[in-house]
Amino acid sequence: MADGSAAALVIGGARSGKSREALRLASLLRRRPVMIATARITDGEMAARIARHRAERGPEWLTVEEPIDLPGVLAAEAAPDRVVVVDCLTLWLSNLMLDARDPAIEARRLCSSIEAAAGPVILVANEVGLGIVPDNALARAFRDEAGWLNQAVAARAGMVLFMAAGLPMVLKRPASGPWSRYP
């Protein structure tokens, strides 16, 4: 599995059903589920979102909260008897940029972790480049970095799904491996 083909990327807009589909994919593999959550609680609304996501997952999920060292935690948690869901890459990127980390270096570290993962990994990301061009430099830099990160992860993933209105569209599916039988 240490070639990235056991990775899946679920991408789409806000409220498109990405997280729900990632959980469904994880359940199909019938392995011990691990959630790596990248969100930081910054206000009451974010706390409510996190609580809602935890309730949706249920108690069988191990949750690891890591806003910065996603590559390190992914390497530590991926195992043949587990399925790891990362939710989400976009918040992770935001955390990196707010902490003045180099997104390109961290993206390369993440891609290496995905390729070396000892078990299946499902990564969730927002597609932020479908709208208007942002009016400020930071927002444009974020949009660009998110696009490059999504491209790098998609290139390494065995399967890529695009979610729209709760419906998955298969953009990439391998001929063999855990995702080849995806409905």
Q: What is the pLDDT of residue 72?
A: 97
1/162: higher pLDDT: 162
SS in 3 state form for 120-154? CEEEEEECCCCCCCCCCHHHHHHHHHHHHHHHHHH
Q: Looking at the domain that runs over 7-172, which CATH code has it been given?
A: 3.40.50.300
For residue 183, give both structure tokens: 């409905």
Instruction: State yes or no: is 53 an active-site residue.
Output: yes
Reported pTM: 0.93
DSSP strand pairing (159-164 vs 167-172): antiparallel
Write the Ramachandran bin of 11: left for phi over 0, alpha for psi from -120 to 50, otherwise beta: beta
Q: pLDDT tens digits, residue range 103-125?
A: 999 999 999 999 999 999 999 99
Distance CA 141, CA 94 (A): 11
| Residue range 160-183: mean pLDDT, rounded | 89
Q: How confident is the model at residue 175 (pLDDT cuts 50, 70, 90)?
A: confident
Q: Are 163 and 10 in contact (CB under 8 A)?
A: yes
Q: What is the pLDDT of residue 4?
A: 58
Q: What is the pLDDT of residue 182?
A: 78
- Catalytic residue (one of 1, 23, 53, 159): 53
Q: What is the pLDDT of residue 90?
A: 97
What average pLDDT does the chain have?
A: 92
